[in-house]
Amino acid sequence: MDEIFGLFPTPLMRAPAVLGVPLVDGLVQHFAARAKQDNNSSSRLSHTEMLKPGDSPLFVEAARLITPKLVDFGAQLFGERIGWSLKEMWVNVLDPGGHQAMHNHANSFISGVVYLTPTHPGSQTVFMRSPGGSDFLFRNDHVAVQPTPYSADKWISPAPVPGDLILFPSYLLHAVPPNQGQRRISLSFNAIPTRLDSWGYSIGFSG
C-alpha cells in the first residue's frame, strides 16, 4: 500500500476551554477599555500595552492555566519537557471591518492566542507559508487545483469559542482577515523557555 509521510511538519496546538467563562469575562471587562494603542495595519484594531503576567491578577491566573500547555507544546518543538515563562501578554480589540496584517513575533519561541469573544467564520486566524524556503520555483496554481497540506499557501485555524487557546512557533506568519462580525477580542502572548541546551552549550532565558 502506498504511504505519504509528512516530513518535518510545523506543529500548531489547539486546546479548547483552557480559560473558564468567569476568567474570560473578567479579561474582557477589565482590558477591553484599556486597548487604546493603535495598530498600523488597521484603524479598527487596537491593543493594550505589552504587559507582564504579574501586572494583573487576571493575567496571573491566565498564565497559570496556559503554562502547562506551553510545556506540552514545547516538547513537540524541542523534544524535551522544559520550563517555560510568559514573557509578555496583551489584549487585542478588533472592531467590525478591522483586520490584522500578516506578521510574526520576534524575540520569542512560542506565541499564542486565547479567544475571548465569539469569532465570525470569515475572521478566523489565518496562517501562511513563508514566502522563502525550498519550494519549487514554478507553481501549479489555477482554478482546478485542490490544495493539500503540502501545497497550500494558507491554513485557516478551526472555529474557536471563547476560552480556546492556540499555540504556534513564533516565526509562523499569520493574519486576521477583515472582521465581518461583532467586536472580536483576544488575548495574545509570547513565551520563552527557561533554558536550551545543545550538547553542553546551554543558554538561559529570562522574561
Tens digit of each residue's pLDDT (9 = 90 or more) over 105-141 = 999 999 999 999 999 999 999 999 887 766 666 778 8
> Which CATH number covers residue 90?
2.60.120.620
Beta bridge partners of 159: none
**What DSSP character marks residue 51?**
B
Q: How high does pLDDT run on average in the chain? A: 94
In this structure, are residues 170 and 104 in contact, taking their beta carbons and an 8 Å threshold?
Answer: yes
- For the chain, what's the residue count? 207
In this structure, are residues 165 and 118 in contact, taking their beta carbons and an 8 Å threshold?
Answer: no
Q: What does residue 147 show for φ and ψ, rounded to 5 degrees?
A: -60, 145
7 belongs to a structural domain? no
Taking residues 51-55, report their average pLDDT: 95
In this structure, are residues 171 and 128 in contact, taking their beta carbons and an 8 Å threshold?
Answer: no
6 belongs to a structural domain? no
Rg (CA), the chain: 18
In this structure, are residues 23 and 91 in contact, taking their beta carbons and an 8 Å threshold?
Answer: no
Domain, as residue range, for 46: 13-131+144-195
The pTM (predicted TM-score) of the whole model is 0.94
**What DSSP character marks residue 194?**
S
Q: Which pLDDT does position 207 carry in this prediction?
A: 66
Q: What total number of domains does the chain contain?
A: 1
206 belongs to a structural domain? no
Q: What does residue 62 show for φ and ψ, rounded to 5 degrees?
A: -60, -45
Q: What is the pLDDT of residues 154-190, one digit of tens each?
A: 999 999 999 999 999 999 999 999 999 999 999 999 9
Does 205 have pLDDT greater than 70?
yes
